[in-house]
Chains A and B, each alone.
Chain A
């Protein structure tokens, strides 16, 4: 079949029209050359009119201009090869361990896209059981500090590691003597490296190498006292959870003393009023501390009276001592309570002393021995390995250096002696005389800026480390990010300089291998990866049969007319985090002052001495000069109720960067319109004054109290405090407090009465009805349908430490606004901790002594030694939220899960919602914090590196919008999503907010209130639960629980009774004659 199929592309081809044939040859149209085109005569006829030309020109210019106005392109580069464990949008958690020479905790680090952004406690592993403190949570911000030293420096200039290594190795070899000055090294590997160096250097002849441990805030006295009493220079483990009576003499163990992370947790466990027993806590101190604010009984003493208190208790318990035990009345009540309680609880007691005086620690030991607490609450076998300093050695070394007899080579790790030594300025001068000085510091700080070589260590979140905080535990810190800068592990540097290892460069495994080696030696059968996953492993405690033997008590602190105490604030501590804006802006738990240190003085004495005792935005505090020996500090004087008379306090950790050293952008005073306040030499002015200068070496230890003179100076100083009113004005529905006696013996009605309002019944008679029955509005459909997120906050457990506040700031990208804005009452914290002092008009915080004679004027003034309540307050997520009704654009609305939600991009910023919030928890973006020049120095979001800490799950708010606590809605959504993916319901305890996550005492419980088996549900239905300001009917989803103090309060006992006709609170309070 000779049929050839014909394919055709168009009818023209099929029909073979002449045009088709013509064009067939030229499949592609003829390309006309430009010359031909221009030469075309007809071109002139096709005219482009002048108008058209202008149109085209106009259009092109406009188009080009518009195109140039394009918003800046933010490039998001996808992973070409997706790293293992990194899924964009999904967090990765690493178990690690935090140790900065002062604080210790087992932690979990959250990373997003390879960036660590959030730290919380590890509840599953480690003896700290998930407890953290504000400094640990905030330390993640330190990683992104843009003023870190980015590589090895020689004489202040960046250079290569190889040059520095060669120079230092040579210097060490040449040197007659090498001294390594470190903070307490608890890393077994570092210790091994040090001993290897010692071995190789000393092996060559003579004791050439020595290692001196120096803790800025030292606990050497405890070790020394135990050496004298037990023959072993150790710090024992304490267990506050087992102690039915806790007596603390000046030890701020909930916030700064020894191991506050562990102690706060234990303390919380023993303070459960619902449990079988609740501990009684008696505290003696000079400056009101976080710990003192939680005491059942608080005695006000001078530092020199600590001996008398201890002697008084010792004698009261039947012991004998030659120490004078004469006490003032202000401490006697508490001391008698302590004796009575200790007599009852005997060995289930604990008595500690915060002083760094050996004699006082020996007196403390004596009481503990008398009570037989060794073995029950104090474990001498499982010693704490932190704070190993021997102050006498430090003193010797420092004196030698100052005398010009310093070593040839001085290596300094984790210390900043120029700043922290009592004679730091002399040391600074002498440091220049040392041939080779080396610092491992991350910043060119007060000391490091003066050394020959800075060999910056990695940030803790960038490096491997191993730690042995206690005999019973070996912990591992693992890196969570590749080193940001050209830094090197200090461990590696030590090994390199000793000639044992070669530099490993940016992705070095030298330290890792060495740590693994140590681990294998210590735990031959354990798995390193598994231990890393858990962050720690138990190690065996060798029992030591230590027997107490009495030793003479000598060298007790001398008394003076006025004494000063150098204490630590819970945010700034010893000052290592002074460049951390989150911590600088964290209100002090007691004074609520941010960004400053000050002299604390009792307001009663201040009135006598002519100081002002009130302050606000425009009215600052008077200034005074405090003089100790030949040193003085000039600071504002803060009226602190509860400050022992004839004592003053000054916080350590301030006055950093006095010579404008580059220790971090946020470490200096800033001006009203941005930029630094400058001192006379044109350098940025440091914040506050350095109180270390007032400390001294005495009796072989560093003493943190002294005899002082305080003289009023001219002028006032602006104070930035987040709270300027200090009492609760006898209001009973904000905070509630009772005693353990009342709580255990009386009905709920007595100590936690429900609010009732009056209404007319059918017979037109007045009757009382619970607040819940009065309702103007339709209820939001949140009950019994789906989730209803709720929270309970136990005021009895809350110690006011501030961890929740910092965790919230870290989780929710809360901007830092700086001192000037805080002074103006514009801090942005979503969660604040209100602190109320009791006034003389109240028998305890919030309960009026006598309703008829109650004076508002007097109620404004805190008592001499007031009781204190801390109340964390955030958005109450009211089901009848006053903010929601008033927003004209419905930017704040109620979710069907009971959340009061804020839609930032709908907000027009009328601030009506904030005005109408009874709790005043809404925060307005007064400025554009991420870009306005006023906040450049303080707000990390304005720093290219600093903004890496931002949580990508939470919007950074723009100016002009309102914000507030969202109950960590991003976490709720993530929890629901993961439950949904697994095809199950959200389980109780699966979801935690940042605040509940970080609370060391588990005071905050969150969960689904509609889940009737949930912890939050049962907690909210507890007899201690109440809602703040219940009577105004806003129906919050947050419940508070009555604070229970383990004290005898006869007045309160009379006031908190079940009344015949229940009639309390707001309505009709005036005419309550029962």
Chain B
């Protein structure tokens, strides 16, 4: 059992016992779902199905149903892809990097953050698939032995690296998440009364018995996976950024992209975690476990990564001028003052200015303000990708080919649809999975729980 300094704010508020934790986490799963859940689920499902309809129409008719053109070959599709991948960054960062760094506060949020990651990566992965002109031959991006002669994939292409990066990231995250779920599933299984749910949870818990041997292996595997996942946190978005950085397009061809994209991804990922957990803690009565301190920690991450992103923006601007390259200079001038100035300045406001407000302790500990900023950040991060992708190619080298991008209603439908689908997944998760890593949280109850910190026993030790 680890203990931390008494002056640190406790991570678990109130006088919780081990049993309380179990009860708190399992209650939503074992009780009937509240009406609100059904309403939210219904809305998410309708939006999600509309998105699916749009995708089916897209697949049936052609990519032309989107607002793309001869100059702008990617717009909302890849913007959404990068946006979702970025969101999908927080989970692994929290579970892997913070695990290695022994940040105990992560335990309150890692489960839902990982779930969010996986669902976000699902949504992200959808876009490279449906943006293809011929999805039905999309498997050609895999280096499969084939009968087409000597045809092989092009290992020079960053898109191919994307395929490997995203699929690796998804599979490692999924395994990591699932491993963490096993002991918690076992707890639910042990409490389950209905035969069906008992059966289901016993399958899901892989015969977990809770013996020391199990725990020993669990810890080992977690560490190994954390070690595996940590480089992935940095590699995925670096590789996504290569899609742009390795090109010749001014505004894309930028060497600072990998760190800048990774910081941006963590930035947006944490913002999404904030959005989700702030609602979840309230809705599911988990205020004791996810409280102001957690939110403050995350806000600090948002502030730091936001500052990195802001620095990157300004560096880009400076370099575009300093390089003296005609096209580079114009690309950035055009971003700030061209027809898409509003997108650029939305991005700047949302991503550079808003996180700086977190310097104020009062603001970063305000839950309402945090919720607001978390939404703002994700709007800003969507615009960042839109600005990078669209404003760079809409006016590149040859002015005669310059163009404007107008989204079609299918563009909007698919994007909104993925948000719907994401929430369908997340609501199902919240309903049937333990949203808190309950067995892990129990490990910090003694060290970081309020009641233990206040107990005389605790003070006697130190």
Residue ranges of A at the interface with B (Cβ–Cβ < 8 Å): 616-618, 723-725, 727-729, 731, 734, 821, 824-827, 832, 834-836, 856-857, 871, 873, 882, 885-890, 906-912, 914-916, 918-920, 922-928, 932, 958-962, 1028-1029, 1032, 1034, 1065-1071
- Chain A residues near B207 (CB, 8 Å)? none
Contact B398 A909 (CB under 8 A): no
Cβ contact of B398, chosen from A835, A857, A918, A1066, cutoff 8 A = A918
Known interface pairs A723-B400, A907-B133, A909-B134; A886-B325 also in contact (CB < 8 Å): no
Q: Determine whether B330 belongs to the interface, using a CB cutoff of 8 Å to chain A.
A: yes
Known interface pairs A890-B152, A920-B401; A926-B68 also in contact (CB < 8 Å): yes
7 inter-chain pairs at a CB distance below 8 angstroms, sorted by A residue, are A873-B398, A910-B131, A911-B74, A925-B62, A962-B133, A1066-B325, A1066-B327
Contact A927 B62 (CB under 8 A): yes
Minimum CB distance partner of A962 in chain B: B133
Contact A826 B64 (CB under 8 A): yes
Cβ contact of A616, chosen from B159, B393, B404, cutoff 8 A = B404
Minimum CB distance partner of B158 in chain A: A886
Contact A825 B249 (CB under 8 A): no
Give the distance in Å from the alpha carbon of A928 to the alpha carbon of B63 in the complex: 10
Most buried by A among B64, B138, B163: B64
Give the distance in Å from the alpha carbon of A723 to the alpha carbon of B71 in the complex: 11
- Chain A residues near B324 (CB, 8 Å)? 1066-1071
Q: Determine whether B340 belongs to the interface, using a CB cutoff of 8 Å to chain A.
A: no
- Chain B residues near A890 (CB, 8 Å)? 151-154
Minimum CB–CB distance from B397 to chain A (whole Å) comes to 4
- Chain A residues near B163 (CB, 8 Å)? 888
Minimum CB–CB distance from A990 to chain B (whole Å) comes to 31
Most buried by A among B133, B157, B333: B133
Per-position binary interface string of chain B over residues 244-255, scored 1 when its CB falls under 8 Å from any chain A CB and 0 otherwise: 001111000000
Lowest 9 A-B CB distances belong to which pairs?
Answer: A909-B133, A960-B133, A926-B64, A825-B69, A834-B400, A911-B73, A920-B401, A960-B134, A725-B402
- Chain A residues near B397 (CB, 8 Å)? 731, 734, 918-920, 1029, 1032
Minimum CB–CB distance from B251 to chain A (whole Å) comes to 11
Q: Determine whether B160 belongs to the interface, using a CB cutoff of 8 Å to chain A.
A: yes
Give the distance in Å from the alpha carbon of A961 to the alpha carbon of B140 in the complex: 14
Chain B, interface SS category: loop
For chain B residues 319-348, which have a beta carbon within 8 Å of chain A?
A: 321, 323-327, 329-330, 333-334, 337
Contact A908 B69 (CB under 8 A): no
Minimum CB distance partner of A619 in chain B: B404
Give the distance in Å from the alpha carbon of A1034 to the alpha carbon of B247 in the complex: 12
Contact B398 A734 (CB under 8 A): yes
Contact A927 B248 (CB under 8 A): no
Known interface pairs A873-B398, A960-B63, A1069-B326; A888-B141 also in contact (CB < 8 Å): yes
Give the distance in Å from the alpha carbon of A915 to the alpha carbon of B138 in the complex: 19
Contact B402 A912 (CB under 8 A): no
Q: Determine whether B203 belongs to the interface, using a CB cutoff of 8 Å to chain A.
A: no
Q: Determine whether B156 belongs to the interface, using a CB cutoff of 8 Å to chain A.
A: yes
Contact B248 A1034 (CB under 8 A): yes
Known interface pairs A920-B70, A927-B62, A1066-B327; A885-B157 also in contact (CB < 8 Å): yes
- Chain A residues near B157 (CB, 8 Å)? 885-888, 912
Per-position binary interface string of chain B over residues 365-406, scored 1 when its CB falls under 8 Å from any chain A CB and 0 otherwise: 000000000000000000000000000010111111111101
- Chain B residues near A1070 (CB, 8 Å)? 321, 324, 329
- Chain B residues near A914 (CB, 8 Å)? 70, 73
Give the distance in Å from the alpha carbon of A1069 to the alpha carbon of B148 in the complex: 49
- Chain A residues near B67 (CB, 8 Å)? 824
Give the distance in Å from the alpha carbon of A48 to the alpha carbon of B337 in the complex: 83
Contact A826 B70 (CB under 8 A): yes
Q: Determine whether B428 belongs to the interface, using a CB cutoff of 8 Å to chain A.
A: no
Q: Determine whether B132 belongs to the interface, using a CB cutoff of 8 Å to chain A.
A: yes
Q: Determine whether B137 belongs to the interface, using a CB cutoff of 8 Å to chain A.
A: yes
Contact A889 B154 (CB under 8 A): yes
Give the distance in Å from the alpha carbon of A734 to the alpha carbon of B62 in the complex: 33
Minimum CB–CB distance from B131 to chain A (whole Å) comes to 7
Known interface pairs A886-B246, A912-B157, A1069-B324; A960-B333 also in contact (CB < 8 Å): no
Give the distance in Å from the alpha carbon of A1028 to the alpha carbon of B397 in the complex: 10
Minimum CB–CB distance from A647 to chain B (whole Å) comes to 26
**Given A617-B403, A888-B153, A918-B248, 16 extra CB contacts under 8 A:** A724-B404, A728-B399, A729-B399, A826-B70, A886-B156, A908-B133, A908-B137, A908-B140, A911-B63, A924-B73, A932-B62, A959-B62, A961-B134, A1032-B397, A1066-B327, A1067-B325
Residue ranges of B at the interface with A (Cβ–Cβ < 8 Å): 61-64, 67-74, 128, 131-134, 137-138, 140-141, 148, 151-154, 156-160, 163, 243, 246-249, 321, 323-327, 329-330, 333-334, 337, 393, 395-404, 406
Known interface pairs A914-B73, A915-B393, A918-B248; A825-B403 also in contact (CB < 8 Å): yes
Minimum CB–CB distance from A846 to chain B (whole Å) comes to 10
Contact B63 A909 (CB under 8 A): yes
Minimum CB–CB distance from B135 to chain A (whole Å) comes to 8
Give the distance in Å from the alpha carbon of A280 to the alpha carbon of B72 in the complex: 41
Contact B249 A886 (CB under 8 A): no
- Chain A residues near B393 (CB, 8 Å)? 915
Contact A1032 B248 (CB under 8 A): yes
Give the distance in Å from the alpha carbon of A916 to the alpha carbon of B334 in the complex: 19
Give the distance in Å from the alpha carbon of A1069 to the alpha carbon of B322 in the complex: 11
- Chain A residues near B61 (CB, 8 Å)? 927, 932
Cβ contact of B134, chosen from A727, A888, A908, A1032, cutoff 8 A = A908
Most buried by A among B73, B323, B325: B73
Minimum CB distance partner of A892 in chain B: B154
Contact B133 A731 (CB under 8 A): no
Give the distance in Å from the alpha carbon of A1041 to the alpha carbon of B432 in the complex: 70
Minimum CB distance partner of B133 in chain A: A909
- Chain B residues near A836 (CB, 8 Å)? 399-400
- Chain A residues near B71 (CB, 8 Å)? 825, 920
Cβ contact of A724, chosen from B74, B131, B402, cutoff 8 A = B402
Minimum CB–CB distance from B431 to chain A (whole Å) comes to 37
Give the distance in Å from the alpha carbon of A836 to the alpha carbon of B156 in the complex: 36
- Chain A residues near B154 (CB, 8 Å)? 885, 887-890
Contact B156 A885 (CB under 8 A): yes
Contact B62 A915 (CB under 8 A): no
- Chain A residues near B72 (CB, 8 Å)? 825, 915
Contact B134 A856 (CB under 8 A): no
- Chain A residues near B151 (CB, 8 Å)? 889-890, 906
Contact B399 A725 (CB under 8 A): yes
Cβ contact of A910, chosen from B148, B159, B246, B321, cutoff 8 A = B159
- Chain B residues near A885 (CB, 8 Å)? 154, 156-157, 246
Cβ contact of B63, chosen from A926, A958, A1065, A1069, cutoff 8 A = A926
Minimum CB–CB distance from A832 to chain B (whole Å) comes to 8
Minimum CB–CB distance from A607 to chain B (whole Å) comes to 19
Contact A916 B134 (CB under 8 A): no
Give the distance in Å from the alpha carbon of A842 to the alpha carbon of B357 in the complex: 46
Minimum CB–CB distance from B247 to chain A (whole Å) comes to 5
Give the distance in Å from the alpha carbon of A958 to the alpha carbon of B136 in the complex: 13
Give the distance in Å from the alpha carbon of A723 to the alpha carbon of B62 in the complex: 24
Minimum CB–CB distance from A820 to chain B (whole Å) comes to 10
Minimum CB distance partner of A823 in chain B: B69
Minimum CB–CB distance from B405 to chain A (whole Å) comes to 8
Minimum CB–CB distance from A747 to chain B (whole Å) comes to 23
Known interface pairs A825-B69, A890-B153, A926-B62; A916-B398 also in contact (CB < 8 Å): no
Give the distance in Å from the alpha carbon of A965 to the alpha carbon of B153 in the complex: 23
Give the distance in Å from the alpha carbon of A958 to the alpha carbon of B137 in the complex: 13
Contact A618 B406 (CB under 8 A): yes
Give the distance in Å from the alpha carbon of A835 to the alpha carbon of B398 in the complex: 11
Minimum CB distance partner of B333 in chain A: A856
Contact B330 A729 (CB under 8 A): yes
Minimum CB–CB distance from A706 to chain B (whole Å) comes to 34
Contact A908 B70 (CB under 8 A): no
- Chain A residues near B325 (CB, 8 Å)? 1066-1067
- Chain B residues near A1066 (CB, 8 Å)? 324-327
Minimum CB distance partner of B323 in chain A: A1067
